[in-house]
Structure 1
Amino acid sequence: MKEIIDIVSAYEKATKANIKTALATVVLVEGSTYRRAGARMLITEDGQLTGAISGGCLEGDALRKARMVILQQEPLLVTYDTMDDDDAKLGVGLGCNGIIHILIEPINDSQTNPITLLKAIIESRGYSVFVTLFNIENRKAPQPGSCLCLADDRLIVNGSATLPYKSELLEDINNVLDTKRSAITAYEGYTAFIESLKPLISLIIVGAGNDAIPLTKIASVLGWNITVVDGRPNYVTAERFTSADTLLISKPEKVLESIEVNEWTAFVLMTHNYNYEFVLLKELLPLHPSYIGLLGPKKKMERILDELEESGTTITERNLETIHGPVGLDIGSETAEEIGLSIVAEIKAVFSERNGYSLKFKTSVIHSAK
């Protein structure tokens, strides 16, 4: 999602400067490649690149082709075969041994376009589906490209795209929405990359001490939506938390009046104030957020849960599964920056349904289908 946010931002800047752009999307991969289907890169006519379609080996050639696409205003499907002797040098530095199909589309600023669809994806509060349609059998045939998206139950169609097999596409879109897994679907003469996209993680950091500042900075690199909450006005300031999207000064019993909690909301409690966190947890646990992290020793977590039960709060098995105390992965953290890194890594692992162990011990492929 961070890549999409950066692409939309770069497009808006280019549009204001009257600079033409094209969007390159990895639509299909075969074998081992650096990026998977769904990787994107915005290319401007003056050579600025935002996002990535490889580890750097394909971008130069893609830039040359994108300039032609911008000039001709016609989409182009390009294939790089790193198993072929002629193309192998492009991916040899990364150990690539596969085939990468990339669709490059001109962006028409005057109508609904691929960037319009990406904006809807960013704003979505749930899973979204993005469809890229291409003709791999006949590269000279029309390439519909980024043709539509489904976000928040709203279907948005690219104004310039033709939609062959629309009824079949809609059925396959609903299947992807149900399974939450991307799919490659073949129709007669066309192939569709039907991409399942997760919404942004909303990180609620409760506590505005100095140790929360690195956490906001690390999370912002990933593009997460960040809210910092504290009851102390002199701590919750824009000067201290430059990476936060929202700053909230609140008593613990009022915090949730200003925050929407859904399955993509993560809470990290690091106030160093036992009573504040006790009151907030009492309000928070019945809402069953997907992740609650408690800074501090395990004894603190056990004590606060015991006292909550004694006061009449029911602690369910579901609560215990989502509470992480002490918060973070065990990476030997000591400094605030290292602790912030371990917290962000644990949240990412939880929302990706991964264990957070070293990839050297993984017996299957690194990237499963999305």
Structure 2
Amino acid sequence: MDMKDLCTAAMNEEQRHIRTVLATVVHVEGHAYRKEGVSMILTEDGRHYGTISPGCLEEDLCARVEQAWNHDGVCMVEYDMRPKDDLSWGENIGCGGLLHILLEPVRGILRDTLLSMNDHLGRGEVVMLTRSFDRNGVEVNYQLLSEGHSLKNGEPNRSEHESEAVGSSLPLPPAPLVLAHGYSNTDSDPKSKGQSAQSDPSTGNYVFVRTYRPKPRLVLIGAGDDSRMVSMLAQSSGFDVVIGDWREALCTPERFPGAQCVIGFPQRLLEQIKPGQGDYLLLMSHNFPREREWIELLEGCPYAYLGIMGSSERTRRLFEGLPNYPHVHSPVGLSIGADGPDEIAISIAAELIAVKRGKQSRSKEVTVHEHRRTRAGSR
């Protein structure tokens, strides 16, 4: 689950008068299932949203909700899974590593901060949350920045360059970032994790910075049966999915739960969906004239990914006489020897994840380049 999902979950639980705690990994040494910055929501009745382990820490963390809620100061849990003796976490969990997990009751300033984050992420904005705290202290201090505008404790501040963490004696990161607008869930630098820490866990001092981006949007054109699995897997992989088709009987919420369904021919769909920067586009209608029309309409669109279902020859014909388009992936999906609609959907979801994370297999890059050379040679 991404941060917006966690914010929404926490607010929904609050409406049901269920107390919740936000658990965040703020320090990792050695191997860990998830990286620094990952969060989850824990409920007082033993449920959780999101994961930070393969399932071995969640039950123990859920049992700590009451303790964290009633704790007078900052609540930090340490799991040292590095030893190999029979009584260690490492033996029971099967992976080594040291984790420091911050447990924060969702109330007061944190609640207001999550509400503000939810609003900004819902508007497609990038936000940066800074936490500064001493593990032996009495509170966590928050600073929320959104696209160059500073928010302090959920309220607008005068200037991002003047912003300070309330009551904190710890230094903030130098010059808060001005975050660019976009829908990408990864940083422009694939090596960047979207976070930083100026912390000294040995002394208990932490300044933890995490950048959160809105979910990327997958615009899937074609509501056939093979699109249903792609929609489901894409949503599970952190995409907001929009299904577009001219066939009203196929493009329904019942067939595509969790996705937005938009009905119309290409021009009308374009006007309603408004594909733009950072969007992932996937043509799976299997209708050549409609997809050709879509490709013509997309000329100059700043999308992040354009996947074409079908053979390289079909794709060559689709682009015949048109200028080169960036970020074209055809045949769509990673080359895993997929056979049948379910396996093809898995290969497509894998490719979407790879592009979102800034990674792409060498074999796929060659395929894309060969496709471009073929298309260029056809003119």
TM-score, reference length from structure 1: 0.82
Residue equivalent to 1:367: none
The 3-state SS of whatever aligns with 1:132 is strand
CA distance in 1, matches of 2:57, 2:346: 31
User: Which whole-Å deviations, capped at 9, do the CAs of 1:177-208 have from their partners, x for residues lacking one?
Assistant: 99763111249974211112332110001111
1:148 paired with 2:161, answer: no
Matching residue of 1:60: 59
SS of the equivalent of 2:348 reads helix
CA distance in 2, matches of 1:87, 1:35: 24
Q: Return the match for 2:265 from 242, 247, 251.
A: 251
Q: Which moved more, 1:107-116 or 1:265-274?
A: 107-116
Q: Match for residue 72 of structure 1?
A: 71
Q: 1:364 — aligned with what?
A: none
- Partner of 1:213, secondary structure, is helix
Pairing partner for 1:183 from 182, 196, 214: 196
Letter matched to residue 68 of structure 1 = Q
In structure 2, relative to structure 1, the CA distance for the partners of 1:87 and 1:266 (3 Å cut) is farther
Alpha-carbon separation, structure 2, partners of 1:258 and 1:90: 52
2-structure distance, mates of 1:81, 1:285: 53
Count of aligned pairs = 343
**Residue aligning to 2:131:** 132
Quick check: 1:224 aligned with 2:249? no
Matches within 5 A, 1:1-370: 2-72=1-71, 74-83=73-82, 89-108=88-107, 112-120=111-119, 122-135=121-134, 139-144=135-140, 147-158=142-153, 162-164=166-168, 168-169=172-173, 171-174=175-178, 181-186=194-199, 190-244=205-259, 246-306=260-320, 309=321, 313=322, 315-316=323-324, 319=325, 321-356=326-361
**1:363 matched to which residue of 2?**
none
User: Partner amino acid for 1:184?
Assistant: A
Which secondary structure does the structure 2 equivalent of 1:285 belong to? coil
CA distance in 1, matches of 2:89, 2:117: 29
In the TM superposition, what is the alpha-carbon distance from 1:88 to its structure 2 partner? 7.1
Q: In structure 2, the residue corresponding to 1:253 is in which secondary structure? A: helix
1:119-172 CA deviation, whole Å, 9 max, x = no partner?
14632524432222232xxx3223415x13223444333369835269844614
Q: Which amino acid aligns with 1:162?
A: V
CA contact (8 A) 1:21 1:43 kept: yes
Using the TM superposition, give the Cα deviation of residue 280 of structure 1 relative to its aligned residue in structure 2, in angstroms.
1.0
Instruction: Quote how far apart the aligned CAs of 1:279 are.
Output: 1.0
1:124/1:151 contact within 8 Å kept:
no
Decide whether aligned partners of structure 1 residues 164 and 205 sit closer, same or farther in structure 2, where only a CA change above 3 A counts. same
1:72 and 1:192 map into 2 onto residues whose CA distance is 21
Residue deviations 1:12-67, cap 9 Å, x none?
A: 33212212121111111112222211121212222222222322333333233331
Q: Secondary structure at the match of 1:47?
A: coil
Q: Any idea what SS the aligned residue of 1:33 has?
A: coil
SS in 1 for 2:310: coil
Aligned residues: CA RMSD = 3.1
Please report the TM-score for the alignment, with normalisation by the length of structure 2.
0.80
Q: 1:144 touches 1:162 (CA, 8 Å); kept in 2?
A: no
Identity %: 28
- Any gaps of 5 or more consecutive residues in structure 1? 359-370
State whether residues 81 and 87 of structure 1, in contact with CA within 8 Å, keep that contact through their aligned partners in structure 2.
no
Amino acid at match of 2:53: S
Aligned residue identity for 1:256: L
Distance 1:86 1:171 in 2: 46
8 Å CA contact 1:112, 1:159 repeated in 2 = no
- Write out per-residue CA displacement over residues 61-84 of structure 1, whole angstroms, 9 at most, x where no aligned residue: 323333112123643122222235
Question: Which residue identity does 1:218 align to in structure 2?
Answer: L
Partners in 2 of 1:209 and 1:55 — Cα distance?
34
Q: Which moved more, 1:31-40 or 1:74-83?
A: 74-83
